[in-house]
Amino acid sequence: MKTRQLGQSAVQITPIILGTWQAGKRNWADIDDQEIVAGIRAAVDAGITTIDTAEIYGDGDSERRVAEAIAPQRDQVTLLTKVFANHLHHDQVITACENSLNRLQTDYIDLYQIHWPAGTWNSDLVPIAETMAALNQLKEQGKIRAIGVSNFSLAQLQEAMEHGQIDSIQPPYSLFWRAIEREIQPFCATQQISILAYSSLAQGLLTGKFGPDHQFAAGDHRSHNRLYADPENYQRVQTALGLLKPIATTKNCTLAQLAIAWLIRQPQTNAIVGARNAQQAIANAQAIDIELTAKDLEAIDHIGRTVTDPLDENPLLWNW
């Protein structure tokens, strides 16, 4: 899989990135450790050599599963992880990074990201200058190669950029969730900042596997997804999926592959996609080969807007 430059850094990433939130198990249901490990290895073998994780995913369990999976192939993998909002004081950032390095069994992290802005999730309101000073220190030491942010507004991104080089932003973005197209995406295009889109399949809705009467298992955080929890939104999702199916059929691909193929053709955008097992990981990787014409992209875009245009401007994907 041909790689792309991460922002203005020397780091190279694949357009399709393996997301590993589910590897931490918390807020997910029916996750098997060995299937997760097999899925990570299959993704790498299939060409998805960029892996995204975070310290908060299962209190480090996701990072541990990633380390287990890639131990023989660390030099072939680009590792992305995140420091959570409760660890943004200078010394906390340093400690959190050391802990992630230990769990990932590596001596460097390719991209280290601020997972949520200071003040979110009842965290301290730490000045971004303090957090960035720690990140710049880690970068100078070679412990991290690039700095990114996640779930930041445009104003928060711009403030972070005043204190160091920001090479990426990680927001929720998919055919069915497009808030970043208003301000963040155009800004990133002018500043050469990579967009790492999470929930790129709208947390599974774009797979078409969840029918009109679907109920998520107890403990599955997707039940709080605004596209699922609001009946009107969910009906629009189902109608749109019906319109997308003929296009997927024409392209001889799944709905998920079609959604990934559309997303990685948007400005500055790369798609983070999770996988529970090897089969899903391999299928995700195959999306790179789907050819979409300008007419295809326009048709898919129009269908997606039937879901997103009625949404309000709240950028949060969940009702938490």
Domain contains 238: no
Average pLDDT (194-205) is: 94
Tell me, what's the pLDDT at 95?
Answer: 98
Q: Is the pLDDT of residue 31 over 80?
A: no
For 150, phi and psi rounded to 5 degrees? Answer: -140, 140
Task: Report whether pLDDT(315) > 90.
Answer: no
pLDDT of residue 141: 98
Q: What is the CATH number of the domain that holds 152?
A: 3.20.20.100
* Residue 24 pLDDT greater than 80, yes or no: no
Q: What confidence score (pLDDT) does residue 214 get?
A: 79
What is the arithmetic mean of pLDDT over 136-159?
Answer: 98
Please provide residue 263's backbone torsions phi and psi, each rounded to the nearest 5 degrees.
-65, -45
Residue 313 resides in a domain: no
Average pLDDT of every residue of the chain? 94
Detail the DSSP E strand segments found in 168-297.
168-170, 194-197, 269-274
Enumerate the active-site residues.
57
- Count of structural domains, the chain: 1
Share of the chain above pLDDT 90, in %: 83
Asked if residue 9 is part of any domain, the answer here is: yes
pLDDT score for 318: 76
Mean pLDDT of 270-275: 95
Domain annotation covers residue 125: yes
113 within a domain of the structure (yes/no): yes
- Pairs from 223-230 (Cβ < 8 Å, separation ≥ 24): 224/318, 224/319, 224/320, 225/317, 225/318, 226/311, 226/314, 226/316, 226/317, 226/318, 226/319, 227/176, 227/177, 227/202, 227/203, 227/307, 227/317, 228/203, 229/319
Predicted TM-score of the model (pTM): 0.95
Would you report the helix, strand and coil content of the chain in percent, each value rounded to 5?
Answer: 50, 15, 35
Q: Does 49 fall in a domain?
A: yes
Condensed to tens digits (0 to 9), the pLDDT of residues 222-262 reads 778 888 888 899 999 999 999 999 999 999 999 999 999 99
- For residue 219, pLDDT beyond 80: no
Nearest to 311 by CA among 237, 256, 244: 237
Does residue 21 have a pLDDT over 90? no
Domain that holds residue 280: 4-204+254-291
- Residue 176 within a domain: yes
Of the listed ranges 14-28, 193-207, 241-255, 259-273, the least confidently predicted one is 14-28
The string of pLDDT tens digits covering residues 49-59 is 999 999 999 99
Band of residue 27 on the pLDDT scale cut at 50, 70, 90: low
The whole-angstrom separation of Cα 185 and Cα 13 is: 18
What would the mean pLDDT of 290-297 be, rounded to a whole number?
97
Mean pLDDT on 190-195:
98
| Predicted local confidence at residue 220, as pLDDT | 77
Task: Determine, yes or no, domain membership for 156.
Answer: yes
Query: What is residue 44's predicted lDDT score, i.e. its pLDDT?
Result: 97
